[in-house]
Structure 1
Amino acid sequence: MKNLLFVAVTVIAVLASCQPQAPAFKLSGKIDGAADKVVTISVYDKDGVNVKDTLTITDGVVNYSTELTEPVFVMVGEAGTRNTVNFFAENVDYTINGSLDAIKDAEVTGGAVFNVYKSVSDMSAEINAKSDELKKAYGEAGQAGDTAKQRVIYEEYQANQEKFETAQLDVVKANPASPASAFIISNVYGYGAIEEMKEGLAMLDASLANSTYYISLSEKIAKLEAVAVGKMAPDFTMNDPEGNPVSLSSFKGKYLLVDFWASWCGPCRRENPHVVELYAEFKDKGFDILGVSLDQKEDAWLKAIEDDKLTWNHVSDLKGWGNEAAKLYAVSGIPHTVLLDKDGKIIAKNLRGDELRAKVAELLN
């Protein structure tokens, strides 16, 4: 009986050892200078950049494993810093070797998805170095008062950026089914026009439809289409500085400029004097402004309103880039303006300066 029991236990153990192990992202190697430091792995997914885990490093040795639900862009580095090495991870074996103080230069190896993104990452380093040179030369030409040279440098800078974009798209065309390609497309077209975003998605294989980055760009397209010129502006309600709820729909009957801005936004603050002049000229002719702030600190928001003499209506939920109205209107950069007609229909977007004044004058004069 004991022999039979021993045989049964042995068979179970053998069978268990033969079961296929779940695939995992494994990171091994060495990171020097990590003693007494917190080293984290962060992921960039649909919710943005979030810390996924903390690495345990003993005597510099890295031995980490986790199961990823899909290939994802990751960042490894010291907690609370931007000193990270970035790469695309999937459930295969990876190696890393470097020092924590220069982790961005660490040597990393991985699988097929890693290699697709690395080809773009390597190009990015080269392009950025060239861009830095051109920026420095542009500044020096400006100090010398040589505007002609500045124009030449600016054109070279633009050509450099276009070269990088073309190179990235070449990588995507060669690897249309790679999850890394979905991430590349979201970076190239994520802040462009709707048609450009659709053009980017069309380059990807249908097998990527469930990829985080494919879905994210698809959702952005849907949001932008909902707030495109010609559509009725989605309503929202948010508190003013006194805590009173203000609804967008309460401004119907006037031409309304919805101005997304923030106290910390330099371009916004530089644009404010022009908006002040615009409001003074047309406020008694059926024109109004609703300022939507992407601030997080109430005192900074209120001080900017006072300092810049912004005497129109203002609202904020003090959630920064998480501002609910900004998300509703797919705002990816500020200043961002949306001009509505008297019925609440969107008639123009992202007008500012003389172009904005000309449009409002056309509507009211």
Structure 2
Amino acid sequence: MKRTIVTLIILALGVPLYAQQGYTLDVKLEGQAGYKLNLSYVQHGRRKSDTARLLPDGTLRFTGTIEEPVVAVLFNSNPTTRFQMSSGGMFIPGPLLELVLEPGTIKATGTSADSYLATVKGGPMNAELSQLKTKENPLVKKKWELTKSGAQAYRSGDTTLSARLRKEGDALQTEKENLRKSYITKHPGSFVSVYLLGTMYESYTPQQFEQAFGKLAATYKNTFYGKYAAAKIESAKATALGRVAPDFTKKDTNGQPFTLSSLKGQYVLVDFWGSWCGPCRSSHPHMKALYEKYKSKGLEIVGVSEEKSPDMTTNENNWKKAIQTDGIQWVHVMNNYGKETQDLVQVYGVAGFPTKFLLDKEGKIVFKLVGAGEEGDKELDGKLRDLLGE
């Protein structure tokens, strides 16, 4: 990545990298007419969500100011960009277009149905990210097709085919992660590397992650993404097996405060999920069976939901509707409540949904599971059997 001594001095002083410089993002997607685009990114530690202005030629234009490089994703309302598991219910979100907001004009062109594959031009950081995307996009596209086929098979009751397609998709995901790891290793001075590392915590052991972060140049460690990766290291230490789970207080479905440590003396399964998350909700029947089996033996489940809407009322409605629809009658809190002061996804280092932590009677973490599927179910079954018996 191109960088200058001036850049290094600015970062060393910890002042804004771009001093409120402006950007313009023009997006033109074939077949986008009638659908909305939403630009989402984090600035000053808070997620922002912007809508575009429609130009006469059909281009959707976003404008704004930034103080440092920001990676944004584009959400597309086109229904072909997600897989609907049930009418009006849960869905599997498709891949999203990633791009870097940097000073100047950025252009993204492609098709609406495959907006995540759009070509992005404008600025040195987008040039770097685009080089990586050229290699990994074929893998992403193939995995998305497998995901949709697997979901269709699961919906029709063919669990054998669904499991096989999931394994094929997992292999492609591993291949993509290896591409990103290689990029990080080869480009330690790149902003893109700092961003990528923060998104890939689950692809490393805690020790490997800390080592990879240590090898990155200091140039961009003072950005949000550098600080985020550093926070991952600390959260990994806080949620390592054998450590007491970080305590928290969040509002439950009745608006009453619930504190995790109030369950000390019981085995507790803390489940990070979301109403929007297909794999999370497909795991609920198995969790209900476990709860019925072990509740009388001292097991409690605490669902921690992370909702995606910028509107809190929408989040509450989606959350409560999913609880009722799925019939999951255990303790529930929503991370969006008081997220500014205590973000449990960050505190617990959650990098994917669902993620489950099993706590013993002293509140110590004895098991962690990321993702959903038969293999993980068997691991969780075995751990509960060891602790609570048949």
* Same fold at TM > 0.5: yes
Aligned equivalents of 1:159 and 1:183: distance in 2? 23
- Output aligned runs, 1:146-295, within 5 Å: 157-189=169-201, 193-294=205-306
Bigger Rg, structure 1 or 2: 1
Aligned equivalents of 1:40 and 1:348: distance in 2? 37
**What secondary structure does 1:201 align onto?**
helix
Deviates more, 1:95-104 or 1:251-260: 95-104
Aligned equivalents of 2:320 and 2:58: distance in 1? 46
Extract unaligned runs of 5+ from structure 2: 1-17, 82-94, 308-314, 371-375
Change (3 A) 1:348 1:36: closer
Partner of residue 355, structure 1: 379
Relative contact order, higher structure (CA 8 A, sep 6+): 2
Q: Is the 8 A contact 2:270 2:301 kept in 1?
A: yes
Q: Is the 8 A contact 1:116 1:171 kept in 2?
A: no
Partner of residue 70, structure 1: 68
Amino acid at match of 1:177: G
Change (3 A) 1:196 1:37: same
Q: Is the 8 A contact 1:256 1:288 kept in 2?
A: yes
Partner of residue 345, structure 1: 364
Query: What displacement does 1:272 show?
Result: 3.3
Deviates more, 1:79-88 or 1:284-293: 79-88
How many residues align? The count is 340
Q: Deviations over 1:245-296 (max 9, x none)?
A: 3322222222222333445544344433433333343333343333444463
Partner of residue 319, structure 1: 336
Q: Is the 8 A contact 2:71 2:100 kept in 1?
A: yes
Amino acid at match of 1:343: E
Extract unaligned runs of 5+ from structure 1: 1-20
Aligned equivalents of 1:239 and 1:202: distance in 2? 38
Aligned equivalents of 1:237 and 1:164: distance in 2? 37
Query: What displacement does 1:325 show?
Result: 4.2
Aligned equivalents of 2:27 and 2:303: distance in 1? 51
Q: Is the 8 A contact 2:120 2:130 kept in 1?
A: no
Deviates more, 1:126-135 or 1:219-228: 126-135
Q: Is the 8 A contact 2:78 2:112 kept in 1?
A: no
**What secondary structure does 1:349 align onto?**
strand
Aligned equivalents of 2:348 and 2:142: distance in 1? 35
Aligned equivalents of 1:128 and 1:298: distance in 2? 32
Aligned equivalents of 1:30 and 1:259: distance in 2? 37
Query: What displacement does 1:204 show?
Result: 1.6
Query: What displacement does 1:179 show?
Result: 1.1
TM-score (norm: length of structure 2): 0.64
Amino acid at match of 1:353: D
Aligned equivalents of 1:37 and 1:364: distance in 2? 51
TM-score (norm: length of structure 1): 0.68
Aligned equivalents of 2:348 and 2:302: distance in 1? 14
Aligned equivalents of 2:278 and 2:325: distance in 1? 16
Q: Is the 8 A contact 2:37 2:74 kept in 1?
A: yes
Amino acid at match of 1:173: T
Q: Deviations over 1:181-230 (max 9, x none)?
A: 21222334466543343243234212222122121111122123212211
CA RMSD of aligned residues (A): 5.0
Q: Deviations over 1:33-75 (max 9, x none)?
A: 9999998865455646524686695778999987642223246
Partner of residue 122, structure 1: 134
